[in-house]
Every structure is written in structure tokens, then in C-alpha cells.
Amino acid sequence: MKQSNNQTILVTGGAGYIGSLTVKQLCDDGYDVVVLDSLENGHREAVDPRAQLEIVDLADLDQTEKVFEKHKIEAVIDFAAYLAVGESMENPEKYIRNNVINFIKLLHCMKRYDVRNIIKSSTASTYGNPKKESDFPLIESYQENYQPSHSALLPGKWKDKELEGEEFFQEIITYYDFFYKSIPDFALSQADITKLRIPTSVYGLTKLLDEIILEKYNRILGINWVALRYFNVCGASLDGKMGEDKPKPTTLMTLAIWSLLDKIDKLQVFGNDYPTKDGTGIRDYVHPLDLATGHISALEYLLDGNKSAVFNLGNGTGYSVFEVIKAVEIASHKKVKYEIKSRRSGDPAISFCDPRKAKNILGWRAKYNLTDMAETAWKWHSKHPEGYNGG
């Protein structure tokens, strides 16, 4: 183990899937780590024993302040959020409250305790559903250049009413305004609102709103930030001892593995008639160990005094649904049973990022490929079919 470098990093959501692997890497690199997690979706067993765990919900401002009071925190890495796209369309208020309002509470504590640096988990969902081939690979300035007049939100529920697009969007903006309109610094400008029309899900919208709030905090209060937009995250620790443990996973690779472990009936493939090499959708995948090093590179970048920025974290290569299934079959030596369903509305044929900004500025690049993701994920899930609670 390396010597402590005496810098304490607060990791919110550090008992979750990506957070716990990042905590381990931070401990390996000699950082002192405090994990703040409600354990609502995280696991005590996933937290590295070298880190201190504070079981606190960010909704509880007093308890969160106590964590800042107790530890001398140098920087925050914020993973705490809800992330189920489908649920965010059914229960948008839950997502705005946790992903936005609780996030603002965290920033409030940072300001109060003079913590000036934060790395924020963002997502590819902030890109919505780009339509033009020339939009790919996706670059970080996409949201600055694309200015839609109507929201791309898919239909969703607002207080038991099914609403579509712009109407749904307006309810969400009104809800945010209810809390922050009276604070001019946090009121949304017309340019902010235009940008927020890009995501197709409430989940994606909350993450883009967090990026906008960070810009405001930077301008007004001098808090420095990096937002990392990750693409589809798959894989586990190399020894297969740490991995994704969610009651209802939504990622393709996990579902393919769960079908092999009889945890779900059959894998569903949505669309085999896309204009792609094998007819299935193409996406960018990234290993959580690469995300861990990405966060530490971003942390060092901020601690060196560099300016706030957004970076994509992805492989920059698209893999098709069939390629992911094949990789799982090779890793497991089993045949995945799947059924073809029609395309889901709002799913683009192809989506992958340009990770060159992270390479050029942070010196980061993804090291693990699809084979590594499938092998490590299979090792974890097949050895721990019940996740951490299964021992």
C-alpha cells in the first residue's frame, strides 16, 4: 500500500457500482477516502476497508454538514444519484429531488466548508438522441451548438398525467423554478432552458441540469468542477470480487449474463433492422476500472489548478448488441438465448463518443476492451449471483 498523501477525498455514492471501484483505486493511490452513502442502492461490503464510511443521505443537510465538519475534505467526487431511465419517466420528482436538489445541498456544504473542487458523474444521456450521422462521434460541445426549439423528452408521467415532450418538460422546469426562482443566481436563463431540451429522459435532463448548476457555482462561488460523461458501463474488478449489484439492472451485458444465470427469462434485443453492420444498435462501452482512473486524472487536473470542464469517458468505438452477446458467450462458454423485439422509440441506431479531449487534456484513455468487460463481468456475476449479500 502507498503512503497516505494526506489529501482527503469525499466520495458520495462510494458504496455503489462505479463509486466503490473508484474508492479502491483512490486508496491504492494513497488518498484518504471518506465515503458518504445512504446505502439505499449501495453495499457496505463494497466499500474498501481503508475508507471511512459515513451512512448519510444527501437529502439530510444537517448530517451532510456534520461529515464536512468532521473531516478536512480537499475535494469531492460525486456519484450519488438515481440512474434508471425508465423510472425517471414514471417518477420525475424523485429524480429532480435526488439528482438536482440534493446535489445543490452538497454544493452548499462545499461552499460552507470552503471545499473548492468537485468531480461529477455525468452521462451520455445528456446528448439525447442525435439524429445526424455527422453528430458522431459525439463531442463535448454538442450541447452548445445544438439549439432545439422543443424538448426531445419522451412521454412520461407528471402527477399521474401522461404528458409528452414540451408539456412534460415545462412541468419539470416549473418544479425546479419553484425551489430556485427566488434565488436569481440559480434561476435558469433562456440559454439553459434551450440546452435542457436536448435529453430524451428526465434522468439525462437532471444530469445536464447539474452541469449547468456547476457552471453557475463556478461563476458565482469559485467552485471548480469536472463533469465526466460516461457511456455504457460494463465490467467488474479483475479478480471478480467487486462488481455491479443492482436489483433491476438495465445494461445489455448484465442482462445477457443474468439470462445465463436464469435470473431473467430471456434477453430481449430491441431492433435487428437498424442500418448497422449486423442490424443491431451500436453503443460505446467503458469499463468501470477505466472510469476509476478517469476520475483520478480529473481530480489531479483540478487539484493542479486547471479550469472547469466536461469530458467524455468512453472507448470511442462502437460495439453492436450482437458483438456484446458474442463477447459474453465467449467469456462464459455458454449460449445466450435472446428474442428480437421491435425497436424502442428514441433509441438511436448508433451512439459513440470522441474521447480525445480526455486523452489530450487529462492524459486518460480507456485501457479495457469489450472482451475484458465481458470476462470480468462474467467472473463477478457467476461467482456472486446474489451480489454482495450472497457473500
Ligand X SMILES: NC(=O)c1ccc[n+]([C@@H]2O[C@H](COP(=O)([O-])OP(=O)(O)OC[C@H]3O[C@@H](n4cnc5c(N)ncnc54)[C@H](O)[C@@H]3O)[C@@H](O)[C@H]2O)c1
In the complex, the residues that contact ligand X under the rule CB under 6 A are 12-13, 15-19, 37-42, 57-59, 79-81, 83, 98, 102, 121, 123, 230, 232-233, 251
Residue nearest to ligand X (CB): 16
Q: Which is nearer to ligand X, 85 or 309 (CB)?
A: 85
* Residue 34: CB atoms within 10 Å: 22
Query: Nearest approach, Cβ of 206 to ligand X (angstroms)?
Result: 9
**Toward ligand X, which CB reaches closer, 102 or 259?**
102
- 250-255 contacts, C-beta under 8 A, 24 or more apart: 250/84, 250/85, 250/86, 252/283, 252/321, 252/324, 253/285, 253/324, 253/327, 253/328, 253/373, 253/374, 253/377, 254/377, 254/381
Nearer to ligand X, 100 or 163 (CB): 100
Cβ 388 vs Cβ 43: under 8 Å: yes
Find the Cα–Cα–Cα–Cα dihedral 165, 171, 176, 181, rounded to 10°: 120
Q: For ligand X, which is the closer residue by CB, 28 or 87?
A: 87
H helices of the chain, in order, are 17-28, 61-70, 85-90, 92-95, 102-112, 142-145, 165-180, 190-196, 202-221, 252-260, 288-303, 321-332, 356-357, 370-383
Closest distance to ligand X from the beta carbon of 273 (Å): 26
Shortest distance (Å) from residue 307 CB to ligand X: 23
Cβ atoms of 115 and 68 closer than 8 Å: yes
User: Per the residue annotation, which of 203, 274, 285, 319 is the catalytic one?
Assistant: 203
For residue 325, the one-letter residue type is I
95 touches 82 (CB < 8 A): yes
Min separation Cβ 101 and ligand X, Å: 10
Instruction: Collapse the DSSP code of 361 into the 3-class scheme (helix H, G, I; strand E, B; otherwise coil) and give the result.
Output: helix
CB of 384 to ligand X, least distance (A): 15
Q: Is 203 a catalytic residue?
A: yes
Nearest-approach distance from CB 161 to ligand X, in angstroms: 26
Using the minimum distance from each CB to ligand X, give the nearer residue, 63 or 170. Answer: 63
Whichever of 95 and 169 has its CB closer to ligand X, that residue is 95
d(CA 319, CA 326): 11
Residues 6+ positions from 84 with CB-CB distance below 8 Å: 203, 248, 250
Name the residues annotated as catalytic.
203
